[in-house]
Amino acid sequence: MYNWDEKPELNITPMVDIMLVLLAILMVVAPNIIFEETIMLPQGSTSKQRQKIAPVHITITVDKQIKVNKRNFELNAFIDNFYLYSQKLNKKASVLISADKRLDYGIVMKVLAAVKQAGFTEVSLATIG
């Protein structure tokens, strides 16, 4: 006869072992699972190519001669002449000023002021090293 007061004990050790094996398999396989979802991307503006803007090179020699893209200017009339010359140039172009280190600092600043007054925003001074 059965004793209804006794409760049977369940042995869950084999079930825990199986779950640990499945967990180990999942941990090994999970990094290798690749989820791929096909999406349709919108058409971008790649058909319009960016044009490379040629930089403006300004060279100031020790005898105060200024050369802008192989065109010579005099220092005394540089501000006005460069302003007129720059009307043909793209204002988004970068300007590189190369000056002899023996020149007076004020001369380089006059040229820099003329470039800024002409409307150029990206101006850099060339150095060695």
Q: What is the pTM for the complete model shown?
A: 0.58
Determine how β-strand 65-68 pairs with β-strand 71-74: antiparallel
Tokens coding 122: 């990206």
> What confidence score (pLDDT) does residue 112 get?
92
Q: Is the backbone of residue 68 left (phi > 0), alpha (psi -120 to 50) or beta? A: beta
94, 126 contact by CB (below 8 A)? no
**3-state helix vs strand vs coil in the chain, percent to 5:** 35, 15, 50
Residues of the chain with pLDDT under 70: 1-3, 36-37, 39-42, 44-51, 129
Residue 129's pLDDT is: 53
Query: Could you tell me the end-to-end alpha-carbon distance of the chain, in angstroms, rounded to an integer?
Result: 101
Q: What is the pLDDT of residue 7?
A: 76
The tokens describing 119, both together, are: 């409307």
What domains does the chain contain, in order, with CATH numbers?
A: 56-125 (3.30.420.270)
